[in-house]
Amino acid sequence: MSIVLNEMERDVVTELFNIGVGHAAAAFGELTREKVQLAVPRVDIVNYTEAANQLATVAGEPMIGIRQDFEGPLTGVAALIFPERRSLEIVRAAIDDRFPLDDVSELERETLLEIGNIILNSCLAAISDMLGMPTSASLPHLVQSAPPDLLDTLSARTSIDRIVLFLHIDFSVSRLNVSGYLLFILGVEGSARFLEAVRGLIRRSEQGE
Amino acid sequence: MILPANIIDGLDSGVVVLDANRRVEVWNDWMAVHSSIAASAARGRDLLDIFPELGRSHLLQAVERALNHRLPTVMSHNLHPRVLPLFNRYGASVEPVEQSVVVRPVADGDSTGCLIQVADITAAVKRDRHLRDVTVYNRTLFEMAVDPMATVDRAGILRDVNPAFEGLAGTQRAGLLGSRFDAWFTKPVEAGRLIARTLADGRANDVLLSLRQADGQQRHVSLSAATVPGRADGATMVFLVARDLTERIEAERELARKTRIIEQSNAELAQFAYVVSHDLRQPLRTVSSFLTLIERRLGEAIEDDLKEFIAFAVDGARRMDRLIVDLLNYSRVGRQDAPLDEVDLGASLAEAMANLGTVVAESHAEVAVPEHLPRIMGSRSELVRLFQNLLANAVKYVETGKRPRVVVECRDGGSDWVLSVRDNGVGIPGDCLDRVFGLFQRLNPAEHTEGTGIGLAVCRKIVDHHHGRIWVESHLGEGATFFVSLPKEGATPEG
Ligand SMILES: Nc1ncnc2c1ncn2[C@@H]1O[C@H](COP(=O)(O)OP(=O)(O)OP(=O)(O)O)[C@@H](O)[C@H]1O
Ligand SMILES: [Mg+2]
């Protein structure tokens, strides 16, 4: 099963997530007094295997993910994924740490968790508000793994037939640029519902014009 | 869904449950203790009522998010250090609680409530700060060290460098980190072996290598390395300290070059001295031996004054031969072949006096010498020469007609013997006290025609050879005193 987005739909979904991460960027700015910019340049809807392949092309570098499960009209797993080393740099830039320790401290992990939480919450809130799909979420937690297994770590192997919203995300804070991925792993039904809601939004906005 | 109160109260972290209107439903014992607000006083009140200082705080935003969007919020300590005004009280001391807070939606009947969980992470924060202090301290030491330092991982990749190392490599940190350590050296194989050996043995000391700077210049370094023990992640790192020997090695090379030149000119001088002694002394020997032959031929018939003339001529030739020998000896002062012995300074002085026999006699000089003089390690012939030159000057540089009076003395100067030769002669002007020791330096060549100006230069050379000092004190017209200090230990033979 595969779902294909037309140009218009792709634009709307991209816009939806850009609004979400835009709120996240504003929240960061408030927290860190650093200028934070977040952008989602591209969205793909792919099946589980394609998503795994896309992640595998990221050279064997260890990745770290922040995962939140969501439920409601849409049920699934949301995750923000960064190269592990770069994610630390984000944390250190955010807390303006000029003397970082050699090893990642618990406190730094917690901050990374919060950063992921802010971005994922913002995206989920945007889905809730704009698509009218009230989605609640679990607490975030960290997952660490090499790329090929990461997806399996995020979502059990049994969910091969799942659809993945695959988003690239660019994160920049005080001269630091990091690219990562936002994944929303949905069930087949959920993704059909999501697409329907997107089309509804397009219809409504066309009527509104 | 809500746990029994006794369990919630038993928790070692703060638990607050708010209803859809932000009113407190649960306020566990931990909260009561750390906020000093009893559960009974908190229950039923709006959270903002209890803590008015929360205002538009992130905590309230998180509560809104949980109640309205059913989204959870993590408030990390780094970004929100003390979310609520909570305190640990130990007797009289009060300390704020460092917090990590989680806010999440909870089902509350039909509506949505909100759970605030507060963890006391004061201990972790303190440990983290301490670790950070230690890190800053070590980092500062590393950054400020004058010696270049670096860490290299098991794979031979540079992982850390200090500014001194950047200077050594002539490359900024960014260009060094991640690069292969051995690739910076003119002999990469040896540099790689140093890392391998350190990993095997735990350390390696003073390995000489040449590092090639980014611009191609070479720096000679001595490297010492050790593995960094007991790292938490178990990865072995090699810590290296370099000492830049470039300047020293270049100075040594320059010194070796100069030494070679000096050795060469010394060899030439020795050759010259040999030629001079051989070629000048040979004809002199001929003169004196033929004079002796003539004397023998003339036999008993020879007249007394003729005999005397011949004797003068032979004596002259002998003196000239001596002079040549002395000249040779002057050039040899301080050379390795001058034997070092225990020398009786008294005997040396007596020998000098004897050598000066006629000079002293003719000048009617009065010379006072000490009864006892010490013995030192030195070169006998050189010390005789020293006394001889000083005494000769002392009786020579006197106004004509005045009777020279010379006093030789010796006093104990602690680690040295200080010899002095005092005269009642013309003296030396204040601005010439150094100059007189120079080669061919004569103050009044016209008045005192004899002499070449070598005497004191030789004295200085001899004293230098004995690791001593020579100087003169004088006032014009009031005589001069020459001082020589010689270490009691004597001249140590040099290698
Ligand atoms: N005791 C002294 N009193 C005054 N002047 C002196 C005395 N000793 C040396 N001088 C001055 O220092 C000069 C250098 O002395 P030095 O012994 O080196 O050479 P010289 O006596 O002239 O010749 P020579 O090489 O035969 O000794 C002398 O020419 C003299 O002018
Ligand atoms: Mg003299």
Using an 8 Å CB-CB cutoff, list chain B residues near A111. 76-79
| A173 touches B: beta carbon within 8 Å | no
Q: CA-to-CA distance for B22 and B45, rounded, in angstroms?
A: 8
Ligand 1: which of B456, B458, B462, B481 to mutate, judged by most atoms within 8 Å of the beta carbon?
B456
Classify residue A183: in a domain, yes or no.
yes
Q: CA-to-CA distance for B342 and B338, rounded, in angstroms?
A: 13
| B177 touches A: beta carbon within 8 Å | no
Burial category of B295 from C-beta neighbours within 10 Å (exposed 0-12, middle 13-18, buried 19 and up):
middle
Classify residue A191: in a domain, yes or no.
yes
Given this model, what pLDDT does residue B276 score? 75
Classify residue A2: in a domain, yes or no.
no
pLDDT tens across B93-133, in order? 999 999 999 999 998 788 889 999 999 999 989 988 888 88
What residues does each domain of chain B span?
5-121, 145-244, 250-332, 341-487
B86 compared with B262, residue with greater pLDDT = B86
Superfamily for the B5-121 domain: PAS domain (3.30.450.20)
User: Is B308 in contact with B349 (CB distance < 8 Å)?
Assistant: no
Given this model, what pLDDT does residue B493 score? 46
Domain that holds residue A31: 7-206
Tokens of B265: 């000119």
Residue of A31, A114, A142 to mutate, testing the B interface (most B Cβ within 10 Å of its Cβ): A114
Region of poorest pLDDT, from B56-65, B234-243, B301-310, B379-388: B301-310
Q: Domains in chain A: how many in total?
A: 1
Consecutive sets of 10 residues in chain A, 209 residues long: mean pLDDT of each? 77 90 86 81 83 72 87 89 83 70 74 92 90 90 74 62 82 81 86 89 80
Would you place residue B384 in the very low, low, confident or very high pLDDT band (cuts 50, 70, 90)? Answer: very high
Q: Which CATH number fits domain B145-244: 3.30.450.20, 3.10.580.10, 3.30.413.10, 3.40.50.11610?
A: 3.30.450.20
Distance B316 CA to ligand 1 centre (A): 23
User: Is B83 in contact with B13 (CB distance < 8 Å)?
Assistant: no
CATH of the domain at A45: 3.40.1550.10
| Mean pLDDT score, B357-368 | 88
User: Is A78 in contact with A137 (CB distance < 8 Å)?
Assistant: yes
Q: Pick the ligand that lies closest to the CA of residue B451.
A: 1
Q: Does ligand 1 come within 6 angstroms of the Cβ of B442? A: yes
Tell me which chain B residue has its CA closest to the CA of residue A92.
B78
Would you place residue B214 in the very low, low, confident or very high pLDDT band (cuts 50, 70, 90)? Answer: confident
Q: Does ligand 1 come within 6 angstroms of the Cβ of B472? A: no
B232 compared with B51, residue with greater pLDDT = B51
The DSSP code for B66 is: I
Q: Do B128 and A134 touch (CB under 8 A)?
A: no
| A3 touches B: beta carbon within 8 Å | no
Q: How many CA atoms lie within 13 A of B130 on its CB side?
A: 6
Would you place residue B495 in the very low, low, confident or very high pLDDT band (cuts 50, 70, 90)? Answer: very low
Number of residues written out for chain A = 209
Given this model, what pLDDT does residue A97 score? 64
Cα B440-B442-B448 angle, rounded to 5 deg? 125
Ligand 1: which of B330, B421, B436 to mutate, judged by most atoms within 8 Å of the beta carbon?
B436
pLDDT tens across B178-206, in order? 999 999 999 999 999 999 999 998 888 88
Give the closest residue to B459 by CA, choosing from B488, B495, B419: B419
Q: Does ligand 1 come within 6 angstroms of the Cβ of B477? A: no
Q: Do B78 and A103 touch (CB under 8 A)?
A: no
Helices (H), B11-158: 29-35, 39-42, 47-50, 58-64, 122-144
Q: What percentage of chain B has pLDDT greater than the value 90? A: 55
Q: Does ligand 1 come within 6 angstroms of the Cβ of B425? A: yes
Would you place residue B486 in the very low, low, confident or very high pLDDT band (cuts 50, 70, 90)? Answer: very high
Unique residue bearing structure tokens 């004190």: B473
Using an 8 Å CB-CB cutoff, list chain B residues near A135. 70
Distance B453 CA to ligand 1 centre (A): 6
Distance B319 CA to ligand 2 centre (A): 17
**Buried b vs exposed e over B200-212: b needs ≥16 C-beta within 10 Å?**
eeeebeebebbbb
| A7 touches B: beta carbon within 8 Å | no
Q: Does ligand 1 come within 6 angstroms of the Cβ of B393? A: yes
Given this model, what pLDDT does residue B29 score? 94
Using an 8 Å CB-CB cutoff, list chain B residues near A99. 132, 135-136, 139
Number of residues written out for chain B = 495
Given this model, what pLDDT does residue B272 score? 78
Ligand 1: which of B389, B442, B483 to mutate, judged by most atoms within 8 Å of the beta carbon?
B442
Give the closest residue to B458 by CA, choosing from B317, B332, B285: B332
Superfamily for the B341-487 domain: Histidine kinase-like ATPase, C-terminal domain (3.30.565.10)
Assess whether the region B145-244 and the region B341-487 belong to the same CATH fold. no
Distance B122 CA to ligand 1 centre (A): 88
pLDDT tens across B143-167, in order? 999 999 999 999 999 999 999 999 9
End-to-end CA distance of chain B: 95
Measured between CB atoms, which of A94, A125, A139 is closest to B74?
A139
Given this model, what pLDDT does residue B122 score? 93
Given this model, what pLDDT does residue B109 score? 81
Classify residue A16: in a domain, yes or no.
yes
Q: CA-to-CA distance for B361 and B375, rounded, in angstroms?
A: 28
Q: What is the mean pLDDT of chain B?
A: 88
Region of poorest pLDDT, from B5-14, B215-224, B322-331, B395-404: B322-331
Residue of A23, A96, A104, A117 to mutate, testing the B interface (most B Cβ within 10 Å of its Cβ): A117
Residues whose CB is under 5 A from ligand 2 (ion)?
A: B 393, 455
Tell me which chain A residue has its CA closest to the CA of residue B80.
A31
| B105 touches A: beta carbon within 8 Å | yes
Interface ipTM above 0.85: yes
| Least Cα separation, residue A110 to chain B (angstroms) | 5
The DSSP code for B439 is: T
Cα dist. B36→B55, B85, B87, B99 in Å? 20, 10, 8, 16
Measured between CB atoms, which of A72, A105, A114 is closest to B128?
A105
Using an 8 Å CB-CB cutoff, list chain B residues near A107. 76-78, 121, 124-125, 128
Classify residue A139: in a domain, yes or no.
yes
Kindly report the backbone phi and psi dihedral angles of residue B170, in degrees, each rounded to the nearest multiple of 5, phi listed first. 65, 30
Other C-beta atoms closer than 10 Å to the C-beta of A84 total 17
Give the closest residue to B470 by CA, choosing from B333, B328, B329, B331: B333
Q: What percentage of chain B has pLDDT greater than the value 70? A: 92
Given this model, what pLDDT does residue B241 score? 95
User: Whose C-alpha lies nearest to ligand 1, atom 8?
Assistant: B393
Contacts of residue A188, defined as CB under 8 A and 6 or more positions apart, other chains included, come to A1, A161, A162, A163
Given this model, what pLDDT does residue B443 score? 86
Contacts of residue B240, defined as CB under 8 A and 6 or more positions apart, other chains included, come to B149, B150, B151, B152, B181, B223, B224, B225
pLDDT tens across B35-47, in order? 999 999 999 999 9
| A94 touches B: beta carbon within 8 Å | yes
| A68 touches B: beta carbon within 8 Å | yes
Q: CA-to-CA distance for B445 and B453, rounded, in angstroms?
A: 9
Would you place residue B494 in the very low, low, confident or very high pLDDT band (cuts 50, 70, 90)? Answer: very low
